[in-house]
Amino acid sequence: MSDFSSEGYMNMELLRFTTAGSVDDGKSTLIGRLLYDSKQIFEDQLEAIEQRSQQRGFEHVDLSLLTDGLKAEREQGITIDVAYRYFATPKRKFIIADTPGHIQYTRNMVTGASTANAALILVDARKGILEQTIRHSFIASLLQIPHLIICVNKMDLVDYSEEVFSKVVEEYRNLSTKLDIKDVHFLPISALKGDNVVDKSTNMPWYQGTTLMYLLENLHIGSDENHIDCRFPVQYVIRPQQTEYHDFRGYAGRIASGIYKPGDKVKILPSGETAEVKTIELFGEQISEAYAPMSVTMTLDRDVDISRGDMIVRENNVPSMEQEFDVMICWMNANNLQVGGKYAIRHTVKDARCVIKDIRYKVDINSMHRNESDKEIAMNDIARINVKTTVPLYFDSYRKNRHTGSVILIDEATNETVAAGMIV
Amino acid sequence: MIKYHLNHLRELEAEAIYVIRETAAQFERPAMLFSGGKDSIVMTHLARKAFYPARIPFPLLHVDTGHNFPETLVFRDKMVEEIGARLEVRYVQDSIDKGRAREEKGPNASRNVLQTVTLLDALEELKVDAAMGGARRDEEKARAKERFFSHRDEFGQWDPKNQRPELWMLLNGKKHMGEHFRVFPLSNWTEMDVWMYIQLEKIAIPEIYFSHEREIILRDGVLLANSEFIMKKDSDLIETRTVRFRTIGDMTCTGAVESPASTLSEIIDEIAASRVTERGTRHDDKRSETAMEDRKKAGYF
């Protein structure tokens, strides 16, 4: 952080990425390496892992110990849950959602992927593309992560061979034709030795590309939000009980997509009433243009009946308003999905109930085959289902809008979140 | 600045405001924990922004260990008056007097652990169903696994292996009677983010964050503020040094750092160059490797 500057820090961008890998492909080591080489590991943290490495009889400091959180994880040497890590370079601040790779933890991977701009997938150079690689890539594509970075790791163990790397890339390209991924990058690295992670490797002169850190700092994320379709879900209605603001009615929320300006003609869903945006503000400060993911308070030129869960949109660009639609889900609970079962459904800031009308098919996430006869949807399964809601939802397809195309299902008896859903 | 792209501090601000509004909307009786430390001050500031021009629609709750820095209490009362917030204070001393908690003994005695008893009693008494706290995931390894909306059973306990998955920003605050939630709007902030935001928004913070002369006890590499609350050991060195605090908690376990930094930008430069985490100055975390995880499971923040 020697080149730290206050001014630079104020203008940094935020990039969220998820890491997925199998048990031994060096994911924790890679994260440890990113933190260590970007000088985000502090003396007291380093001391603690040095001590633990010694206790375990390791010769070198085990950087993977940095990412273990809970007691059970340290005892078993595994990652149980999504852990969040933070680091910053002068250009960007990074949030890593570190998710475990074993099959039973698909749900954690989906969780980490849901808010990510990029997914980092590790492939062991010696083993090539495995079932897990396909699974992780499929989840990244299902969750519409805009950028995918395939790190071919452990290049030191294959003599830094270009041939090995090219073979993995070709294998992956064949596989990814079935996937819906916009932007894919390939990097030959060694997390253990540090090749092409932060510093450019001298062991692979044949590789003309960038290091992982450079890529993370320069990925174009400016187009990751939808700035076209105006969607403003009303989260909270502000009505001050103070005499000086007696007539104030503010509609508070986070812009899901699109750009709003004072003077815009808007339509309120579900009432269909129209109004004009009077002000967009936060803490009394006027905002001339509001866009995702800003949290703002909007006032309108006239009194309209608006409550939490309503949506303010543009007159000429409205979302679908339906009570019955198809959703791709990842099931996340030990109790299987019940066809005909009723669940609570949450979409933006709106709560409703729904009934599961049909299971269209289940996806085998290792082969990506659709199975129309298997109707048993258990923990970590991915399926396309049809639901009917008690009231209409105002949504876009997930492909078009991650904020207005996503839902969760909640078990009404246990209150647990049982499924992540992407509206088709 | 790229057009139509928020910088990272504004994005974190937007996220925290969303979480605070969501808490106010989903729960009947939320409360915001206020310790007088910089994180809770930033969180309170965000709550003001979230509901402006209305007042903050929930009370601030301070669990007072009785071992506070006096400067913190002065700051607290002034701030509460200025923003017109409702403040509830509950005292660890009352829990001890009622026999609900037992004072630790010896030179390392701290009321840090006892706070949990007072906190849980206060949440029950005030029927709080969502308690917002300023904890951040970057602070400590057990906190790295926290959700924004973190479910607590009827005993106030955290079950880290059985947390609800949190997808997109669809926060599920549904619960049964007697259960409650802990909510962490600053989850994704780092120490540096908090300081930069304080500077950006010109937020007032207690004086003891800035460099000052103070009598300290040097113990196990930690500089503790000398006070009547700490039982002295023979090996303790008592000296006057120029220090400031990176975190503010109970006087018995909050370590100071030697520092000449007397302005926000000096503090920020110092943190940028620092090679020790802020919790490295906390005596309470040095008790064992799982000190934080164990306390959190029991209902601590």
Indicate which CATH number applies to the domain containing A180.
3.40.50.300
| Same domain membership, residue A171 and residue A63 | yes
In chain A, pLDDT over 90 holds for what percent of residues? 62
| Same domain membership, residue A201 and residue A288 | no
pLDDT by residue (tens digit) across A349-397?
A: 999 999 999 999 999 887 888 999 988 999 989 999 999 999 999 999 9
pLDDT by residue (tens digit) across B279-296?
A: 555 555 555 556 666 666
Q: Which residues contact A292 (CB under 8 A, 6 or more apart)?
A: A225, A226, A227, A254, A255, A256, A257, A258, A403
| Same domain membership, residue A331 and residue A304 | no
| Same domain membership, residue A89 and residue A50 | yes
Q: What share of chain A is helix, strand, coil (3-state, %, to 5)?
A: 20, 35, 45
pLDDT by residue (tens digit) across B104-147?
A: 777 777 777 788 888 989 999 999 999 999 999 888 777 788 89
Specify whether the CB–CB gap between A367 and A415 falls below 8 A: no
CB contact under 8 A, B21 and A115: no
Backbone φ and ψ for A308, nearest 5 degrees, come out as -55, 135
pLDDT the model gives residue B153: 83
Residues of chain B in contact with residue A293, where contact means CB-CB under 8 angstroms, are 6, 11, 14-15
Average pLDDT, integer, range A91-109: 80
Tokens standing for residue A393 = 């939802």
**Is A284 buried (19+), middle (13-18) or exposed (0-12) by CB count in 10 A?**
exposed
pLDDT the model gives residue A105: 72
| Same domain membership, residue A19 and residue A161 | yes
**H helix runs in A148-304, sequence order:** 162-176, 212-218
Residues of chain B in contact with residue A283, where contact means CB-CB under 8 angstroms, are 48-49, 52
Instruction: Report the C-alpha gap between A408 and B293 in whole angstroms.
Output: 29
Check residue A84 and report its DSSP letter: E
Examine the pLDDT at A97 and tell me if it is beyond 80.
yes
Indicate which CATH number applies to the domain containing A337.
2.40.30.10
Examine the pLDDT at A66 and tell me if it is beyond 70.
no
The domain defined by B8-194+290-298 folds into Rossmann fold (3.40.50)
Instruction: Report the C-alpha gap between B16 and B10 in whole angstroms.
Output: 10
Q: Which of A381, A374, A335 is nearest to A138 (CA)?
A: A381
Element spanning A297, H or E: strand A295-300
| Same domain membership, residue A357 and residue A211 | no
Specify whether the CB–CB gap between A16 and B8 falls below 8 A: no
Q: For residue A339, give how far its alpha carbon lies from the nearest alpha carbon of chain B (Å).
A: 22
> How many domains is chain A partitioned into structurally?
3
Examine residue A51 and state whether it is found in any structural domain, yes or no.
Answer: yes
Mean pLDDT per 10-residue run, chain B (301 residues)? 79 97 97 93 97 95 88 93 94 85 76 83 93 89 84 80 86 91 95 92 93 86 82 82 85 84 89 67 54 64 63
Examine residue A1 and state whether it is found in any structural domain, yes or no.
Answer: no
**Is B237 or A291 the better-scoring residue by pLDDT?**
A291
Residues of chain B in contact with residue A107, where contact means CB-CB under 8 angstroms, are 165
Q: Which of B280, B273, B271 is nearest to B199 (CA)?
A: B271
Average pLDDT, integer, range A82-109: 81
| Same domain membership, residue A324 and residue A271 | no
pLDDT confidence of A301, banded at 50, 70, 90?
A: very high
CB contact under 8 A, A14 and B11: yes
Q: Which of A149, A37, A44 is nearest to A89 (CA)?
A: A37
pLDDT the model gives residue A2: 42
| Same domain membership, residue A382 and residue A247 | no
Residue in chain A nearest B136 by alpha carbon: A84
- In chain B, where are the structural domains located? 8-194+290-298, 206-285
State which residues form the domain around A276.
Answer: 231-314
User: pTM, whole model, 2 decimals?
Assistant: 0.91
Q: For residue B227, give how far its alpha carbon lies from the nearest alpha carbon of chain A (Å).
A: 26
CB contact under 8 A, A225 and B174: no
Residues of chain A in contact with residue B48, where contact means CB-CB under 8 angstroms, are 283
Examine residue A397 and state whether it is found in any structural domain, yes or no.
Answer: yes
Q: Which range is least confidently modeled, A125-139, A399-413, B141-155, B272-286? A: B272-286
| Same domain membership, residue A288 and residue A340 | no
Tokens standing for residue A60 = 């070198």
Beta strands A118-124; A147-153: pairing state: parallel
CB contact under 8 A, A6 and B175: no
CB contact under 8 A, A70 and B269: no
DSSP helix/strand/coil, A372:
coil
CB contact under 8 A, A70 and B145: yes
pLDDT the model gives residue B281: 55
Question: A 94-123 residues with CB below 8 A of B?
Answer: 95, 107-108, 110-111, 114-115
| Same domain membership, residue A163 and residue A56 | yes
| Same domain membership, residue A167 and residue A100 | yes
Q: Which of A382, A356, A235, A372 is nearest to A298 (CA)?
A: A235
**H helix runs in A11-105, sequence order:** 27-37, 43-55, 71-76
pLDDT by residue (tens digit) across A263-273?
A: 999 999 999 99
pLDDT confidence of A50, banded at 50, 70, 90?
A: confident
